């Protein structure tokens, strides 16, 4: 072999580590690890049943893009509900005034995709909602809204009493009935399983967590049913009455311990 051949062999050999690196990255699946805050936020609002939780994701081996977060919440009586992500919030800074507790400044956005880098950890407050409720609620609300607009066009929706009378119509009663029937929270033990989706293959071992709600928790959360109707009524009055001042609504939440 002449010197030229040896140079070619050495040059080709120099590419071997790079080729192995490319092959490793191509064939290796990222491994997702989930870390959870110990206290989720349980609620019931105009958006239906709510499950919010702070979580962190770590990706080993390579980066990954996630395009859906979901959580299955199953009661000990067998009732099972799949919640999908509906919003994300990230803490970007903290402000503390003299003699006051620190206040976190958060950036909120609608979920599209989340990029988890293998060199870091992605942290966010994930807001999960029960989509079947939203679909039913939107249909019922549309019927009530159309009737409300018809009455306004006919000049039959001009006073606060007109709005109060409207809350007793069949369209509004349908909303109230739906809100009451779709309240899914009951006393007892729940099992929680988190899941993720990605356009790419990845490794993720699902772990099950539990939390419990007492009957007192349920009684408090059910008070939000009245809050939902109050919220809808106040929005209607604000659209009819120029100087209407709405009351502040105090939504009730529960923060059980996740085990």
Query: Is 156 within the bounds of a domain?
Result: no
Please say whether the beta carbons of 122 and 114 come within 8 A. Answer: yes
Residue 105: strand pairing partners: 93
Residue written as token pair 């192995």: 20
pTM score, two decimals? 0.78
The confidence band for 8, taking pLDDT boundaries of 50, 70 and 90, is: very low
Residue written as token pair 């005034």: 97
Q: What is the total count of domains within the chain?
A: 1
Query: Is 21 within the bounds of a domain?
Result: no
pLDDT in tens, 16-42: 455 444 444 545 678 888 889 999 999
Domain with 61, as residue range(s), is: 27-137+164-240
pLDDT in tens, 101-148: 444 445 665 666 777 777 667 788 899 999 899 889 888 989 998 988
- Residue 90: pLDDT over 80: no
pLDDT in tens, 175-207: 889 999 999 999 999 999 999 888 888 888 888
Query: Is 157 within the bounds of a domain?
Result: no
Give CA–CA dist 132/138, Å, rounded.
10
pLDDT in tens, 142-168: 999 898 899 888 888 888 898 889 888
Query: Is 234 within the bounds of a domain?
Result: yes
- How high is the pLDDT of residue 227? 94
- How high is the pLDDT of residue 5? 53
């Amino acid at each position: 072999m002449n010197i030229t051949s040896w140079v070619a062999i050495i040059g080709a050999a120099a590419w071997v580590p790079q080729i192995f690196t490319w092959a490793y990255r191509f064939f290796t699946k990222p491994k997702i690890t989930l870390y959870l805050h110990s206290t989720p936020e349980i609620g019931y609002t105009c958006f239906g049943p709510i499950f919010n939780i702070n979580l962190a994701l770590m990706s080993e081996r390579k980066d990954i893009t996630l395009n859906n977060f979901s959580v299955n919440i199953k009661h000990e009586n067998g009732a099972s509900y799949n919640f999908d992500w509906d919003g994300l919030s990230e803490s970007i800074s903290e402000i503390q005034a003299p003699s006051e507790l620190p206040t976190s400044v958060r950036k909120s956005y609608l979920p599209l995709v989340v990029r988890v880098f293998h060199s870091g950890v992605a942290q966010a407050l994930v807001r999960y909602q029960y989509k079947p409720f939203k679909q039913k609620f939107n249909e019922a609300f549309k019927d009530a809204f159309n009737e409300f607009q018809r009455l306004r066009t006919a000049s039959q929706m001009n006073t606060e009493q007109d709005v109060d009378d409207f809350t007793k119509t069949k369209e509004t009663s349908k909303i109230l009935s739906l809100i009451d029937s779709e309240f899914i929270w009951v006393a007892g033990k729940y099992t929680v399983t988190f899941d993720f989706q990605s356009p790419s293959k990845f490794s993720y071992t699902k772990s099950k967590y539990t939390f419990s709600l007492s009957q007192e928790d349920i009684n408090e959360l059910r008070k939000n049913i009245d809050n939902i109707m109050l919220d809808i009524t106040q929005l209607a009055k604000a659209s009819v009455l120029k100087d209407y001042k709405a009351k502040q609504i105090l939504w009730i939440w529960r923060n059980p311990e996740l085990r």
